[in-house]
Homo-oligomer: A and B are copies of this chain.
Amino acid sequence: MASIAPVLERADANLPQSLERLFDLVRIKSISTDPAYKAECRKAAEWLVAELQALGFEASVRDTPGHPMVVAHHQAATANAPHLLFYGHYDVQPVDPLNLWEAPPFEPAVREIAPGRKVLTGRGTSDDKGQLMTFVEAVRAYKEARGALPCRITILFEGEEESGSHSLKPFLEANAAELKADYALICDTGMWDRETPAISAGLRGLVGEEIVVRAADRDLHSGLFGGAAANPIHILTGILAGLHDETGRVTLDNFYDGVEETPAEIKASWEKLGRTAENFLGEVGLSIPAGETGRSVLELTWARPTAEVNGIVGGYTGEGFKTVIAAEASAKVSFRLVGNQDPAKVRESFRAYVRSKIPADCSVEFHEHGASPAIHLPYDSELLTRAKAALSQEWPKPAIVIGMGGSIPIVGDFQKMLGMESLLVGFGLADDRIHSPNEKYELQSFHKGIRSWIRILDALA
């Protein structure tokens, strides 16, 4: 296999021009949520198509009911190379309040914010124009250094990520055959810190459920009926309090089916990150982990399922006091899922548990509020192992595999609709102020991001 040193060197040499190209893209005001910028969104799509065509891609602007998609294809040097789908989005967030920007948001610049630490400023430099251009520039370096690409590459750039991605699913459905690849690469996430690259391997799933417990057919006076009539708030609080045992584990039957323990070496790598209960919870005024005992906050939020009550109401909740026994009480409950937990089975187990706690003369009603399984890239997958090694070569510290408590819907869409595993790699930092005034992207993120993709493409080839 050919050395990638010349490719990396080419990327280094290209950097000034790479920056100019990124800045050209940032200057296009592609705010997707504001109809006033509709033409600018199309302009960004057209700009990207032109760039990709110049790199030898078969690229086109593809209309949708909203802002257009960019789709581009390029063959690999060898027929048996893997096929990768790279996803990014060219649309950006609105820029108000404009007066808080230190420089105009669509006039990108390089600023030195500390000795030797340069940042690229402007809306979209980090989210997601700077990130997606790391991949485009990596491809450019390959083409210029070798005249060919190590993998077959399909590119999908969306223009509605910041405004609900309404056209995405229909577009994936209508173009499934064209977009299906071996793996997806998604560049819309962050580093752990300035020295430590990260691969997001887990995204928790979600089951939402609302329950309404009904007792008497009317509100009752607690003097007349108290002590004899069922109180639906008591029934409900009993149910909710019983969801966890004294160690914080969820008590539902079969709840942990499909949940696997995080491998020791992954946990060990998380422990080295220095995220303690004190510094994680301290930011929101807390200090003591509240979930399962004996697990770190990173494990609790990245790798463990939860049952959380998101809302509860019953009886008199206004000013003052009312000695009433309510006729009904309700709660909204959500479950974060990991591993192979089955959303439908979790919901059914919850409902069976709740029903078992309802006295014979009372009743319960359930309302479903969404269900999605967890997304989990196996820790030992080839994709992850190779990408991790590639990133570790580029950065001062080895790459780590992290979880994410929330969700990135396209990951699930790729999995469900196109049967593809996704690799989530990005070079943003927590202080990039995406969605806020004075968005920035580290010059190092851009430069080493390009070099990282060169290494990853090589590793996957």
Q: Report which A residues bind B (CB closer than 8 A).
A: 32-35, 93-94, 96, 100, 162-164, 204, 206, 208, 210, 215-231, 233-234, 236-238, 240-242, 244, 277, 280-281, 284-292, 297, 300-301, 304-306, 308-326, 329-332, 334, 336, 359-362, 369-370, 404-407, 430, 433-437
Contact = CB atoms under 8 A, between A and B. Distances in A.
B310 A322 contact: yes
18 contacts: A33-B318, A216-B285, A217-B285, A218-B433, A220-B284, A221-B434, A223-B404, A223-B406, A227-B306, A227-B336, A227-B405, A228-B290, A228-B297, A230-B290, A237-B240, A241-B242, A321-B334, A322-B332
Contact of A323 (B208, B289, B292): B208
Contacts of A277: 228
A100 B216 CA distance: 14
A100 to B, nearest CB: 8
A267 to B, nearest CB: 15
A437 B218 CA distance: 8
A314 B314 CA distance: 10
Contacts of A311: 233, 314-317, 322, 324, 326
A287 to B, nearest CB: 4
Contacts of A305: 227
Contacts of A324: 310-311, 435-436
A312 B317 contact: yes
A94 B318 CA distance: 9
Contacts of A297: 228
A319 B220 CA distance: 26
Nearest to A190: B224
Given A33-B319, A234-B308, 12 more contacts: A94-B318, A210-B321, A215-B290, A221-B435, A226-B336, A290-B359, A312-B312, A312-B314, A316-B332, A317-B332, A321-B370, A324-B436
Contacts of A312: 233, 237, 312-315, 317, 329
Contacts of A286: 215-216, 229-230, 361-362
A287 B314 CA distance: 21
A280 B225 CA distance: 9
A308 B361 contact: no
A317 B300 CA distance: 26
Contacts of A280: 228
Nearest to A215: B286
A-B residue pairs, 9 tightest by C-beta: A223-B406, A33-B320, A217-B285, A241-B241, A311-B315, A321-B369, A227-B291, A230-B290, A227-B300
A310 B301 contact: no
Contact of A223 (B284, B315, B405): B405
A226 B437 contact: no
A280 to B, nearest CB: 7
B336 A301 contact: no
A321 B227 contact: no
Nearest to A286: B361
B308 A226 contact: yes
B332 A229 contact: no
Contacts of A336: 222-223, 226-227
A193 B49 CA distance: 75
B222 A310 contact: yes
A411 to B, nearest CB: 13
A288 B320 contact: no
Given A227-B405, A405-B227, A163 B320 contact: yes
A405 B222 CA distance: 8
A301 B225 contact: yes
Given A288-B360, A320-B369, A329-B312, A223 B237 contact: no
A219 B437 contact: yes
Given A216-B284, A285-B216, A224 B33 contact: no
Given A319-B35, A320-B33, A361-B281, A227 B292 contact: yes
A439 to B, nearest CB: 11
A281 B218 CA distance: 12
Contacts of A100: 218
- Most chain B CB inside 10 Å of its own CB: which residue of A162, A221, A228, A237: A228
A323 B332 CA distance: 9
A339 B334 CA distance: 44
